[in-house]
Structure 1
Amino acid sequence: MYSHGLNDEGILECLFADIPSDPDSQIDTSSDSESDVLAEDSDLDLRMKTPFLSQIISESESKDHFDNDGDDSLSTNDDLPLSSIANFSWTMDVSAMNFAGNFSEEAGVRGKLKNDSEEHLVFQSNLYTTQKGGIFRPLSKAELKVFLAINILMGIKKPCSYRDCWSSHKELRDEYISSLIWVKRFSWILTHVHINNNAVMPSRESRNYDKLYKIHPLINQILINFKEFYAPTKEQAIDECMVKFKGRIAFKQYMPQKPIKRGYKIWITADKLGYICGFQIYTGKVEGIVEKALGERIVRDMCKGLEGKGYHIYFDNFFTSVSLLQKLKDDGLFACGTIRSHRKGLPTLKTDK
């Protein structure tokens, strides 16, 4: 029986081994014996108990399992494949759900970048220098563009020290970079470029203290640009990533199981093309208190603005919980994720044994 495939009886024997069957009953198209009637009644009873199996059998019965000569040899072209049983889906509660949803967004670029951030950086840098006191030449927008471009280029060429690009030794000197700006001016911008106003920064003792205060305007503008100038695909994934950093900072994380063990932890949502749709920098405990339902809160934050649009969200077992999936469903979002067996809200599941 297994050399050619599984017929209807083979399916019943494999899936319902604990149900006694008549070993003498055979499928025979040329007779209507009592054993055939009993076999058909047994099959009907099983179909009533198992709707999925009934569907498989009804499809298989429409095929001819015998050769034209009338013998009992099975036809290899008409056998029911085992994959039709192994790959079935759980359809009791989800059959009526429309997984396509009402998604109608078109993924892709949909705008043109603006230069408002450059104006902000120039203003805050000059404000910071004024607060320090002394005579200085104000930073201009053109100089800021050159400064940012050189930093990007240095990230590609990676000199031992940025001052090497202006070195008097031709082996170290970079003629292109050194021709754009003087080294003293570059150093001045490097130490005075600023993003937020220090004069109104909350103190460490304040409840409004923010570890990311000095770069928050830049983070907010980046997130706005991510969402304004690109429409993501329907499928999106939420996960954590590590940015390598070995310096001293209050919210540096140590994760020995990760390829990058020390650095910044950032929660990220990205579409199937790899485009980052949103992110949050994790700054650790708030006032020494461990946040409860952290994974659920992260997913809800990342999904703001997607409600009711039929997006498909994927995540791992750190985030998945029954309450989260229910809330996402109420928000018109479909979600999928692995789950930890001890997570609250799960029904009692049978062990693998």
Structure 2
Amino acid sequence: MIGYLVSKDQKFYIPSEIVCTDETRVPFRGRLKFRQYIKEKIHKFGIKTFKLCVNGAYTYNMKIYCGTESENDWVLVADKVVLGLMNNLLDSGRILFTDNRYTSVGLARKLATRGTHFVEILRSNRKCNPKNVITASLNRGQIFGMENDDGITVLK
């Protein structure tokens, strides 16, 4: 049902150049196999959804998290989630913003090949990060960065 509603909404709304991915928990206390419990939250029980949001906080696409994904490595699952949410918007020159949960140099490479720019906060322990940038010791206000052969720039 949600897939049907999302596809109908996408027919009538053309998003701007800038889009963003994030996750949300919808409060839910009923019985459901994939309901999540997070002790620290105000609403402790809920359903996790991955969302692609556009200008005006409009949810352009979403996916409900129904339990463990098939991949063991979170980076691969995050790549799948982001690419799935962006499916209709790839190859159109858009700019995607994400938080550090969905970031990796590999995902940036995949999106670059599909004509999508990627702005992210990169976790320092991710694979394929340039060691020189991660270990650089900087003073306040300094910036250090490197660009690889694919045109992906990592800054600190």
TM-score, normalised by the number of residues in structure 2: 0.79
Per the alignment, residue 276 of structure 1 pairs with: 59
Per the alignment, residue 329 of structure 1 pairs with: 112
Cα deviations by residue, 1:284-332 (Å, 9 ceiling, x for unpaired): 1258x74642111110001102122111111011100000001101000
1:239 aligned counterpart, secondary structure:
strand
TM-score, normalised by the number of residues in structure 1: 0.36
Contact 1:252 1:262 in 2 (8 A): yes
Per the alignment, residue 232 of structure 1 pairs with: 15
**Aligned pair partner of 1:256 in 39, 63, 77:** 39
Give the paired residue count. 135
* Aligned-pair CA distance for 1:256: 3.5
Per the alignment, residue 267 of structure 1 pairs with: 50
Give the Cα separation in 2 of the matches to 1:342 and 1:258.
26
- One-letter amino acid matched to 1:315: T
Per the alignment, residue 127 of structure 2 pairs with: 344
Give the aligned CA root-mean-square deviation in angstroms: 1.9
Cα deviations by residue, 1:114-161 (Å, 9 ceiling, x for unpaired): xxxxxxxxxxxxxxxxxxxxxxxxxxxxxxxxxxxxxxxxxxxxxxxx
Contact 1:285 1:291 in 2 (8 A): no
**Aligned pair partner of 2:25 in 228, 238, 242:** 242
Give the Cα separation in 2 of the matches to 1:221 and 1:256.
33
1:278 aligned counterpart, secondary structure:
strand
1:285 aligned counterpart, secondary structure:
coil
Higher strand share: 2
Give the Cα separation in 1 of the matches to 2:118 and 2:69.
29
- One-letter amino acid matched to 1:279: M
Give the Cα separation in 2 of the matches to 1:333 and 1:226.
22
Give the Cα separation in 2 of the matches to 1:322 and 1:270.
22
User: Could you say if the C-alpha distance between residues 251 and 310 of structure 1 is closer, same or farther in structure 2, counting changes exceeding 3 Å?
Assistant: same
Give the Cα separation in 1 of the matches to 2:85 and 2:40.
25
Per the alignment, residue 297 of structure 1 pairs with: 80
Give the Cα separation in 2 of the matches to 1:282 and 1:316.
18
- One-letter amino acid matched to 1:272: N
- One-letter amino acid matched to 2:24: C
Give the Cα separation in 1 of the matches to 2:19 and 2:97.
6
Correspondence 1:221 to 2:12: no
**Aligned pair partner of 2:98 in 291, 304, 315:** 315
Indicate the structure whose relative CO is greater, using CA pairs within 8 Å and at least 6 residues apart: 2
* Aligned-pair CA distance for 1:352: 4.2
Radius of gyration: which is bigger?
A: 1
Identity, in percent, stands at 28
Higher helix share: 1
